[in-house]
Amino acid sequence: MVENGDLDADAYEGVDYVVLNDDVLTSVYNASTVLAEGNDLERLAVLFQFPQFLEHCPADTINIMIPEICSNVTGWTENATMASAEALYFVIGVAIPDDIASAILDVSLKILDKMGQGDIFDAWGEILSMIVAQVSSNDVHSKLIPMTIERLGSKTIDSRRLAARLIGSLADVLSSEEVEDLFLKRVVDLCDDKDSSVRAMIAQSLASVGAKLPLKLCEEHLSPKLCFLTEDDSARVRAAAVRAVAKIGDAHKAEATNSNMFKTLLLSMFIEKCKDATITAATDLRTVDDDTYVMLEIFAEVYGYFLIALNPLFEDEETWTLTLNGLRRMVSCNGPTVRHWCAFNLPAVATCCGADRPDRIKGVLHALSTDTDVETRATLAAGIHETARVVGDTDLRGEVLVAVGELMTDQNPQVRLNALTNFAELLELLSEKEPAARKLDPVFTNLEALAQDSWRTQKVLAEQLDKAACNIPQEMLCEYVAPVLFQMARESTYLVRNASIAAAVRVLRYISAIRRRDGIHNHFINEWAQGKVYWTRLAFLEGADVARTIFSRKLYNSMFAESALKMSGDSVSNVRLRLVNLMQNSIAESKDLKLYSEALAKLVEDSDPEVKEAALSCQEAVAGFKGLSPEQVKEDKQREEAEDKFFVLPKAQVSKGASQKPVVLSTRTSSKKQFVKSQPPLKPPVPSDVVLSKFSTGDPEGMAEGNDLNSANGVRGEKDEEETLDKRKGLLRRACCSVS
């Protein structure tokens, strides 16, 4: 093993691998220089890191590294050429400029002409087919279409297979008339190709071609060929043809009841495949041959397409029984890929029969949510909100609630993240007729565990709790939600902190018991607005900016504006600068406050030139302010009336001495996953003195903002850091909603 730079190019002979220097790993420009000037091993090392560059520095990677690859790859070794195709695969799903897409197109065509056939040819052919959607129309017509037509007549299998693949991609970007004129006859001819891999590829492309063409042309030209391909000797061809039939049916489902193709080819094929699936899935799939398993796997993939397109044609309950028995068999089979596709298709199944025949799919959701395969559970979690949209108010409501609890507390982080991504929408759907949050108690008792996941999961959690706050009972907001939000804001990254503070502000709006609300608010003031480290004060100002959009002017000024304006004398210029920005944003809400005028007068004389400039700009904006518009006045009045009705007690006047008391915010420990029985609605909130857990004011993660600039404690050692975290976690166990 050597580090690049330690040896010259000739010295790499016999070296197995190379370790890139930090200046290459952290710089797209330096990495691109290595691609242009480095040894083959160095190029491979950079190309293997391409996904990380694209994720963390997308703009530079697209505008610097990709042009470097396109300019030089034709002169690289076969290993580097293949690695380049693998790297560019990650670009396909990213929006790129036209010139970059054109560069990828041009280099793909050059490599395809150079290689002729083989693995590299196939890899770059796939890149070419996938970049078609981002290529300009001019390039499509001047370069891609002529090349595709030319290769359709090639004597080499690889070229005809590439052309068959490109026809599917081109059908997605061309008009129906262009597809018909350019490719319909050629597609029909290619279905009779002597090579099975070409027939399989054109069968795959028929899905796109058939979806673009009118149904009449599909019935006349494509239906006979699809019937022929579904009886092909090759299982790959048969599987691709079944997939194409299903997707064509889904594209033209609006015409199903008037189409002979639907009543003959599609319906008969679907019933036949359901019978086959029921028999095959009931066996031990480890003992079946590969061709049989492939057909079952592909049918499981397109089952939902068939069902959506054909269910209007089901004439009796016997057909429903047959089709849903096939699904139940596949759900319980021992093929993980088959079960994964069942989870993928569950929203379609729910749409077709969840409202009218929920008993027919009872148990399916539970089986998939507790499946042993992680991919199956992750797929189910990603779409469970769509299933709940249909069956959330049926007899399957309880099953949905149990499944949500299972997925949100799953052992796998990806499953939890997928379920969490649409949690707010899910909670709203399940709460339309009856509150659902209390029946999801395991989810809320495990929020602290979710808060220990990656920062991306933490950010999603904060955003979802923000959206869902209106559907969560105040007891849960106090006991579970608020403590977790403040914990993440304290211990995680900048983006998580902002999202968590915004959600915490939203939570304050939906706690109707004023003493409880004020207890959390006092913690916000004492530990954040008056925090010892500057980033806590910045976070409070971010929260105050969010509060403007949530609370009425009256409540905003009393809860946030006064504490924020007192920061005009803060010792950290960044805090004062953020305050000026807040003041400019809140002219309509706070300009009449005495503190506002005093703070602005102080800030226009600030010693920091940037703060002073911003304050002068704010002063001009205040002078030019013409008052609230009628719409703004009406909106503010509506907010104030809603707050007066929502908060159940008159706002307690907190004395100056009381506001200085330590505030304690806590979370409960995660409990075992189990659901409590349905509880009756709680009685109206009892006045309470909220005891919130006191957070320490350290910086446990070494935030990007740096150490506290005005803290007397200075830099702490690792041992002190660990002790601080341990103490904080202990304090987080105290209840935050104890009743006085």
- List the domains of the chain with CATH numbers: 460-731 (1.25.10.10)
Q: Sorting pLDDT into bands at 50, 70 and 90, what band is 670?
A: very low
Determine the 3-state secondary structure of 586 from DSSP.
coil
Mean pLDDT of 11-37: 72
Rounded to whole angstroms, how far apart are CA atoms 47 and 43? Answer: 6
Mean pLDDT of 524-534: 92
Q: What is the pTM of this model?
A: 0.79
Locate tokens 């010295």: which residue? 11
Tell me the three-class secondary structure of 234-257, residue by residue: CHHHHHHHHHHHHHHHHHCHHHHH
Determine the 3-state secondary structure of 629 from DSSP.
coil
The CA-based dihedral angle spanning residues 725, 731, 732, 734, taken in that order and rounded to the nearest 10 degrees: 170
Ranking 117-121, 297-301, 722-726 by mean pLDDT, the lowest is 722-726
Q: Which phi and psi (to 5°) does residue 19 adopt? A: -105, 125
Q: Sorting pLDDT into bands at 50, 70 and 90, what band is 395?
A: confident
Residue 734: per-residue pLDDT: 42
* Among the listed residues 23, 92, 101, the one whose alpha carbon sits nearest the alpha carbon of residue 67: 101
Write out the two tokens for 309: 């397109």
Given a cut of 80, whether residue 544 has pLDDT beyond it is yes
Interval 616-627: pLDDT, tens: 999 999 999 988
Following DSSP, what letter does each residue of 36-64 receive, concatenated? HHS-HHHHHHHHHTHHHHHHHSHHHIIII
Q: What percent of the chain has pLDDT over 90?
A: 65
Residue 665: per-residue pLDDT: 55
Ranking 174-178, 238-242, 313-317, 410-414 by mean pLDDT, the lowest is 313-317
Report the b/e string of 429-439 with b at 16+ CB within 10 A. bbbeeeebbbb
Residue, of 234 and 682, whose pLDDT is higher:
234
In the chain, % helix, strand, coil (3-state, to 5) comes to 70, 0, 30
107, 328, 330 from 280: Cα distances, Å? 46, 12, 9
Rounded to whole angstroms, how far apart are CA atoms 697 and 149? Answer: 68
Residue 681: per-residue pLDDT: 37
Q: Of all helices (H) and strands (E), which one includes residue 715?
A: none
Q: What percent of the chain has pLDDT over 70?
A: 85
Residue 581: per-residue pLDDT: 94
Classify residue 361 by its DSSP letter: G
Longest dimension (CA), the chain: 90
Which amino acid, 388?
A
Contact 663, 522 (CB under 8 A): yes
Mean pLDDT of 513-542: 93
* Among the listed residues 342, 330, 332, the one whose alpha carbon sits nearest the alpha carbon of residue 277: 330
The CA-based dihedral angle spanning residues 40, 42, 47, 49, taken in that order and rounded to the nearest 10 degrees: 160
Mean pLDDT of 637-666: 62
* Among the listed residues 529, 526, 592, the one whose alpha carbon sits nearest the alpha carbon of residue 560: 529
Rounded to whole angstroms, how far apart are CA atoms 149 and 172? Answer: 17
In 131-257, beta strands by DSSP E: none
Q: Sorting pLDDT into bands at 50, 70 and 90, what band is 517?
A: very high
Rounded to whole angstroms, how far apart are CA atoms 489 and 502? Answer: 10
Q: Sorting pLDDT into bands at 50, 70 and 90, what band is 17?
A: low
Rounded to whole angstroms, how far apart are CA atoms 98 and 101? Answer: 5
Write out the two tokens for 693: 């857990």
Residue 521: per-residue pLDDT: 93
For the chain, give the mean pLDDT: 84
Q: Which phi and psi (to 5°) does residue 726 adopt? A: -60, -45
Ranking 111-120, 538-547, 645-654 by mean pLDDT, the lowest is 645-654
* Among the listed residues 353, 292, 287, the one whose alpha carbon sits nearest the alpha carbon of residue 320: 353
Write out the two tokens for 21: 């220097």
Residue 116: per-residue pLDDT: 83
How many Cβ atoms from other residues are within 10 Å of residue 75's Cβ? 8
* Among the listed residues 490, 405, 491, the one whose alpha carbon sits nearest the alpha carbon of residue 444: 405
Q: Sorting pLDDT into bands at 50, 70 and 90, what band is 92?
A: confident
Contact 140, 132 (CB under 8 A): yes
3 DSSP β-pair partners: 19
Given a cut of 80, whether residue 615 has pLDDT beyond it is yes
Residue 676: per-residue pLDDT: 35
Q: Sorting pLDDT into bands at 50, 70 and 90, what band is 604?
A: very high
